[in-house]
Every structure is written in structure tokens, then in C-alpha cells.
Amino acid sequence: MQRAGEPENLRAEYAALSSYFNTLVGFRITLLGFFLASIALIISGPARIPVVVSLLAILLTFSMYLFELRTRILYDHLAKRGIEIEQREWGFAEEDSLPFFSRQLPRHLGPYGKSGNEGYYASPVKILFGLVTIRSRHISHSNALDLLYIGTMGFFIATLLFEVV
């Protein structure tokens, strides 16, 4: 009988973690597509958005944002265990040999990786025609989705206020 830490069990667990991680990525993008389509349908109507439609859009946006936040929590749990397997169990703790989870999610390196690894992923990126330079760690799908969901909620709250006031 194999125990939890044996190589075959670790490979099976790592494969399951990777598969679930990829499923979450697909789920996240699919939900985003449905959300954008529903918002497009809502705002394609009359120029003035009725109160009930604004309320529905706020509820939809808030619900989608909760899905997004829960997905991030699941990502974190999967990443932490994946990094633990990669670095503690398999010994991939050096920056030059980091596998998938360690390379994709350096903020989780914690006790299993060198504390300086995150700097490797914070290279400068030029934006706005090269006028502004920011660290690449600030450019993420999560930040973009935060802006989208919070901005959409703000838009519909503003339309609600303009309609009521």
C-alpha cells in the first residue's frame, strides 16, 4: 500500500492539481464572457437605463465579482499545494529550475522557495507608449477583473442615482 508522500501518489496529486487549476482558468474566462455579453445586452437598450435594470445589473456584477474572488481563493489553495510538492517534495527550489506553480505564482513561494524569487518576476514594463514604467507583478488578470467589476458596479450605481435623483 502506498502512503501519501510516495512518488506515484505525489505525481497523481500534482496532475489533479494542474487539471483543476486549468479548469478554473477556463471557468473564469467563460464566466467573464457571459458577464460581458449580459452587460452588453443590458446597455444596448434605451439611453436611460430603468431603475429595475440598474438594480439587476448591480446584482449581476456583484455576484460575478463574488465568483471571481472565490476563484482566486481556490487558485491560492491549489498553488500553495502545487508549490509545496514542487519545492519540498521534488526539490525544485532554485530560481533557474522552478516548475509551473512556482513560476506562475511566485507570491506563494513562502517557506519552500528563496525569499528573493519574487524580484525575478517584477521586471519593469513600459506602458502608455513607453512614457510610464511599472513592475510586471502589478499587471495581472486579477487586477484587470477588479477594475472591470468595480467599474461596472460604479457605472450602474451612477445610472441608478441619476435615475432616482
CB 134 within 8 A of CB 124: yes
Domain boundaries along the sequence of the chain? 7-164
d(CA 94, CA 83): 12
Q: What is the pLDDT of residue 113?
A: 46
Q: What average pLDDT does range 33-59 have in this prediction?
A: 91
- In the beta sheet, which residues pair with residue 125? 134
- The pTM for the full model equals 0.79
Query: Is the pLDDT reported for residue 128 higher than 60?
Result: yes
CB 93 within 8 A of CB 122: no
pLDDT in tens, 84-111: 898 888 888 776 677 888 877 765 555 4
Q: What average pLDDT does range 119-123 have in this prediction?
A: 57
